[in-house]
Each structure stands twice: as C-alpha cells, then as structure tokens.
Chain A
Amino acid sequence: DAGVIQSPRHEVTEMGQEVTLRCKPISGHDYLFWYRQTMMRGLELLIYFNNNVPIDDSGMPEDRFSAKMPNASFSTLKIQPSEPRDSAVYFCASSLWSGAYEQYFGPGTRLTVT
C-alpha cells in the first residue's frame, strides 16, 4: 500500500481565501483522523471519523474549520476564511480497528496563510 496520501504537500494562500486539504487513507482502514501541528500548541487532534461518520470534532478550533468524509477513500479539511494563525502542518492519519491502535500518518500539508 502507498500509505496515507495527502495533497497538496504545501499550500500558500492569502488571508480570507478558502483552503481545502485532501486525504486518502490506507485502503481498508475504518478510522480517519485530522491533526494540526504548530510550534506553540504541538500536535493536536482536530476531528476523527469512523466508517465515514464524524465521531468527535471537539478539537476543531472554530466554525471556519469543517471536515467531510464522503466515502471510505477520501476526506477533506476546509478552512474558510483562512487566517494567518491557521498556518501549521496538517496531518491526516488512518487506523484499522483490530485491537491494535496504531495510527498511520500521512506526510502532512504545510499551510502558510499570509
């Protein structure tokens, strides 16, 4: 398997613009997670899905952030409108509920909002 795939790898946008980050989980995995990593706040869980259904979105910072998982092989994280403080690396991870809890992380999307 190719692992978790994220696109784009880098995104530079201006404040106020809409940003969409994409993730393809490992085939067969039934959990998908979105994380944000910054120097100030470290690695934070934003939201996770089980079988395409959002289970816990308590980590989503505010209403400007939204996430969807229309099918088992695709998820998006959208920020609208974007702000400079959203600049971070966003990771997608997936896991298989098999008694093992390992999450497989993608390479991340580095977002810069100017």
Chain B
Amino acid sequence: GENVEQHPSTLSVQEGDSAVIKCTYSDSASNYFPWYKQELGKGPQLIIDIRSNVGEKKDQRIAVTLNKTAKHFSLHITETQPEDSAVYFCAASKRGGNDMRFGAGTRLTVKP
C-alpha cells in the first residue's frame, strides 16, 4: 500500500522567514496530494492541494511543488507569521481523496 514519509517532524523559524516541509510517497498511481493544517484541539483543515498533472501551485504565501518522477512533493510557506504555527500534514491519494494516506506531521513554530 501507499507509504508517505514527511520531514522534518519539527521546524522552528523566525517570523518573516520561509518554511519548507517535504514528503515522499511510494505508490506511483497516487495522483492527488493535499496539505492539511491542524491547530491545537481542532480537526485538520485543507490549505492547498495539487494534482499529478500540475508541477506547482501557489496560493498567496503558500505553494506546493510536485516531482512525480522522484515521487516527492513539498510545501513552501513564505513570510511566515505566528498564526502559521500548527501541525502540518501531507497526504497522498489515488482515488480522489477517498483513500488518503497521511504523513506523520510537522510541528511548525514561528517565533515572533
């Protein structure tokens, strides 16, 4: 089955700096790669996603890149703010999100 690995497990940056989180997946049939943000005591919330027919997608300060050949994808957050502090999860799916396998999560701390 699909195996998703996520790095780093913790990341601390200064406000205004950029943050990068990386994920690899094992199943070449996976074609949907979402990123979820989870704040303390809440459920995960989708922040951005990308499909296999696209190499990069950007939404304001957030961007995701996908390398299908290498089977890895990354989340980039620029101009980080303290409210970006949360746990971020990547996931991979081959059935329209109905079979998502999640990475272990990255705890991002943005220091003011």
Contacts and interface: CB of A to CB of B under 8 A. Distances in A.
Interface of A: 4, 31, 33, 42-45, 48, 55-56, 91, 93, 95, 97, 101-103, 105-108
B89 A91 contact: no
Interface stretch (B10-18, B39-47, B64-72, B75-83): B39-47
Interface residues of B, number: 22
Interface SS of A by simple majority: strand
Interface of B: 32, 34, 36, 41-46, 49, 89, 93, 96-105
Contacts of A91: 43-44
A56 B49 contact: no
Given A42-B105, A56-B99, A101-B97, A93 B32 contact: no
A55 B100 CA distance: 14
Nearest to B96: A101
A106 to B, nearest CB: 5
28 contacts: A31-B98, A33-B98, A42-B102, A42-B103, A43-B44, A43-B89, A43-B102, A43-B105, A44-B102, A45-B99, A45-B100, A48-B98, A55-B98, A56-B98, A56-B99, A91-B43, A93-B43, A97-B96, A101-B34, A101-B49, A101-B96, A102-B49, A103-B97, A105-B43, A106-B43, A107-B41, A107-B43, A108-B43
